[in-house]
Structure 1
Amino acid sequence: MPDFPAPADPRFGLARRVTLPGPLTLDSGARLSPVDIAYETYGTLAADAGNALLICHALTMDQHVAGPNPRTGKQGWWTRMVGPGRPIDTDRFFVVCANVLGSCMGSSGPASIDPATGCPYGMDFPVITIRDMVRAQAMLLDHLGIGTLAGVVGGSMGGMQALSWAATYPDRVRAAVVIASTARHTAQNIAFHEVGRQAVMADPKWRDGAYYDGDPPAAGLAVARMAAHITYLSEAGLTEKFGRRLQAREQKSFGFDADFQIESYLRYQGLSFTDRFDANSYLYITRAMDYFDLAEEHGGLLANAFRGTATRFCLVSFDTDWLYPTAESRSIVQALNAAGARVSFVELTSPYGHDAFLLDAPELERVVGGFMAADR
């Protein structure tokens, strides 16, 4: 049953939540039951369910990929890509986007109620992986009567899920679009996440994750977001947008207020993030990303993850993305070639760094639209 007001036209999004009995067996060996999954759908499912397409969201995103977000009133995070006549055409595809396991937008996560105690899980929630997120999505699709997906599309952490889908359920995925992503987290990626996690856990209000009956660790989470947000941008983009310009003043204060525009911008990003995201979820999802190593899951050789696959792949990188640089995409392409998979690859030019896939990128729209149009 929908748990949010839904528009009358299904092309523009229907928000729902479902509780599945489970159990869901996780990579850690833990078993989660029940499993709540919040999701949104766009378009109409064909009689044979052959037009379903799954969009996988990034770390701090949610299931409200297009149209008005019923929680915030703002437009969905990928409205430019998803909708009638858009690259992911909801007149053609039945699009599903599910909030990932471990998040705080309606799916099971640390803020959910533990049926064994009647209280929020907090840090008793089991540690999860990207593959666990994919398994939960597969449970949802089974519930919806969807066997095979016309495509799985994702950027950043969503791209990790798309790769994991193709490796874990190769017979269920006809096409996979992987944007600004990687097949495993590097030491640098893990290092940035650890700085963020330590910022959260150093906040006295974190209370070992048991803060749900009081004030959340907003200060620590804000710092974590600030550090992460830097990695989503490029030096050229920061220089163009902010440079060394001062914030609402003519001269330096010779203090520690936000003298520079970039300081003010990062503080705003950090504080606004705390209004919509749960600190414990941030810990769990970043840990899931750090654990992601698709080659490790398949005997240490990435090509093994795709042996014999019939899935078509499209990989896209951006030249100013230093979080998941083009070299990461090329290594995936090489593995796909070694496995004999059908793959296309393009590096796009953008000043926006890693966040380019979320911003105005007409070239990306053409690439994704053209690739998905070939599935006829």
Structure 2
Amino acid sequence: MTLDYELFNAGDVVLQGGRVFPNMRLAYRTYGRLNAARDNVIVYPTSFGAQHYDTEWLVHSGGALDPDRYFVVIPNLFGNGLSSSPSNAAQAFADGSYPDVSYYDAVAVQHRLLTERFGIAKIALVYGWSMGAMQAYHWATRYPDMVERAAIVCGSARCSPFNFVFLEGVKAALTADPAFVDGRFVSTPSVGLRAMGRVYAGWAMSHAFYRDALWRTLGFTSLEDFLTRSWDVAFSRRDANDLLAQIRTWQSGDISRCDQFGGNLADALAAIAARVLLMPSRTDSYFQVRDNEDELPLLVNACSAELVPIPSDYGHRAGNPALIPADRAFINATVAAFLAKDGNQETRR
């Protein structure tokens, strides 16, 4: 079978936790053409459980991530089944325990891809939603001289305690399945995956979404129809061990959790020199607006920083609105304007 993506073999990678990941591979896809100056680059990391197929809807002619103007790179986050994951690389570890892979590790390999394979020294924009947004924050923190702009859509600089607890509920529902034995799934946990979807449904969408029966706008005939056809199967296409690996990455996410910053979030945010767009959903339950409001005044060395909430009742999903025209138009317009602004303009709101 011919793949529609490429693989970057990073070799043996020493992870942030100290373990060596042998033959670590990053799956990625590119769109558009790299210009002669190699500076028309947009990096668009994937989100939880997503592969580039799921997120490439945002890459289209005339949109904010326009492949006619930009060279868009979608790196698949480790644990998503295309890049190195428990489902395709567990055999590399003699004791059977797949290691924790942090955002720090993921972005380091993505950086190698861009510099070693493409010779890229400047990135016009790192754009990410959810776990992709947390990667975008890591990019801006780790490589301030390289990243010119960062769009943080429904994400934060670190996983808040509230967000962590939400994920504990998701994880508990999944691992309650009898297929979970000695820390890993030995077969497909059909019951656990369905339970995980039902738990997730209450968090991903907002109170207003359910109150006003907005599931009707998505083509569902009843609340049960929405839960059954959307959430009961939402995670069944992914390997359950992969999902657990990505949950661990998410829960440990913190741009300051490295030797450079020693856990000091203010120092990590102060290292960012890029123009920053913080775009939470007004009704997101777990990446809440308050997190970005607290981060904004700490972006003291950013070229500019602005907070522009998405005015939506679709909760966290407002940041990935493939089927929500109003939110899709808002994101495209906001990001296009963000890209068009002069890098020397000061904006802070």
TM-score (norm 2): 0.86
Q: How far off its partner does 1:198 sit?
A: 2.2
Specify the alignment match of 1:299 in structure 2. 262
Specify the alignment match of 2:52 in structure 1. 63
1:39 to 28, 41, 44: 28
Does residue 1:206 correspond to 2:207, yes or no? no
TM alignment of 1:47-58, pairs within 5 A = 47-58=36-47
Quick check: 2:46–2:55 contact (8 Å CA) kept in 1?
no
Structure 1's 211 and 344: CA in aligned 2 closer, same or farther, altered over 3 A? closer
Specify the alignment match of 1:161 in structure 2. 135
Does residue 1:77 correspond to 2:41, yes or no? no
Quick check: 2:134–2:152 contact (8 Å CA) kept in 1?
yes
Q: How far off its partner does 1:287 sit?
A: 1.3
Aligned counterparts of 1:221 and 1:275: Cα–Cα separation in 2: 6
Q: How far off its partner does 1:24 sit?
A: 1.8
Aligned counterparts of 1:27 and 1:229: Cα–Cα separation in 2: 33
Q: How far off its partner does 1:135 sit?
A: 1.6
Specify the alignment match of 2:88 in structure 1. 112
Q: How far off its partner does 1:177 sit?
A: 0.6
* Stretches of structure 2 lacking an aligned partner (at least 5 in a row): 344-349
2:66 to 71, 89, 112: 89
Q: How far off its partner does 1:77 sit?
A: 3.3
Structure 1's 31 and 375: CA in aligned 2 closer, same or farther, altered over 3 A? farther
Q: How far off its partner does 1:115 sit?
A: 5.6
Provide the aligned C-alpha RMSD in A.
Answer: 2.6
Aligned counterparts of 2:303 and 2:27: Cα–Cα separation in 1: 33
Does residue 1:20 correspond to 2:20, yes or no? no
3-state DSSP of counterpart to 2:79: coil
2:198 to 226, 234, 245: 226
Q: How far off its partner does 1:217 sit?
A: 1.1
Aligned counterparts of 1:375 and 1:25: Cα–Cα separation in 2: 39
Quick check: 2:270–2:298 contact (8 Å CA) kept in 1?
no
Quick check: 2:8–2:113 contact (8 Å CA) kept in 1?
no
1:367 to 300, 314, 334: 334
The number of aligned residues is 331
Q: How far off its partner does 1:334 sit?
A: 1.3
Structure 1 runs of 4+ with >4 Å offset = 114-117, 209-212
Task: Read off the aligned partner of 2:83 and give its amino acid letter.
Answer: S
Q: Percent identity?
A: 28
Does residue 1:137 correspond to 2:110, yes or no? yes
TM-score (norm 1): 0.80
Specify the alignment match of 2:209 in structure 1. 237
Aligned counterparts of 1:357 and 1:116: Cα–Cα separation in 2: 36
Aligned counterparts of 1:114 and 1:137: Cα–Cα separation in 2: 21
Specify the alignment match of 1:101 in structure 2. 78
Aligned counterparts of 2:214 and 2:59: Cα–Cα separation in 1: 31
Specify the alignment match of 2:346 in structure 1. none
Structure 1's 200 and 172: CA in aligned 2 closer, same or farther, altered over 3 A? same
Does residue 1:285 correspond to 2:285, yes or no? no
1:196 to 166, 170, 178: 170
Structure 1's 233 and 211: CA in aligned 2 closer, same or farther, altered over 3 A? closer
Per-residue Cα deviation, 1:218-271 (whole angstroms, up to 9, x for no partner): 21122112212321111111111279xxxx9xxxxxxxxxxx943443233343
Structure 1's 47 and 340: CA in aligned 2 closer, same or farther, altered over 3 A? closer
Does residue 1:323 correspond to 2:264, yes or no? no
Quick check: 1:153–1:178 contact (8 Å CA) kept in 2?
yes
Aligned counterparts of 1:116 and 1:368: Cα–Cα separation in 2: 41
Quick check: 1:180–1:324 contact (8 Å CA) kept in 2?
yes
Quick check: 1:304–1:339 contact (8 Å CA) kept in 2?
no
Does residue 1:171 correspond to 2:133, yes or no? no
Q: How far off its partner does 1:328 sit?
A: 0.9
Structure 1's 335 and 85: CA in aligned 2 closer, same or farther, altered over 3 A? same
Aligned counterparts of 2:42 and 2:108: Cα–Cα separation in 1: 16
Name which one, 1 or 2, has greater alpha-carbon Rg: 1
3-state DSSP of counterpart to 1:172: coil
* Stretches of structure 1 lacking an aligned partner (at least 5 in a row): 5-14, 65-75, 249-259
Specify the alignment match of 2:347 in structure 1. none
Structure 1's 308 and 137: CA in aligned 2 closer, same or farther, altered over 3 A? closer
3-state DSSP of counterpart to 2:5: strand
Structure 1's 61 and 340: CA in aligned 2 closer, same or farther, altered over 3 A? closer
Task: Read off the aligned partner of 2:15 and give its amino acid letter.
Answer: L
Q: How far off its partner does 1:210 sit?
A: 5.7
Quick check: 1:201–1:208 contact (8 Å CA) kept in 2?
no
Specify the alignment match of 1:353 in structure 2. 315
Q: How far off its partner does 1:341 sit?
A: 4.1
Q: How far off its partner does 1:164 sit?
A: 0.5
Per-residue Cα deviation, 1:109-145 (whole angstroms, up to 9, x for no partner): 101134647x9x9x62111112122122122223422
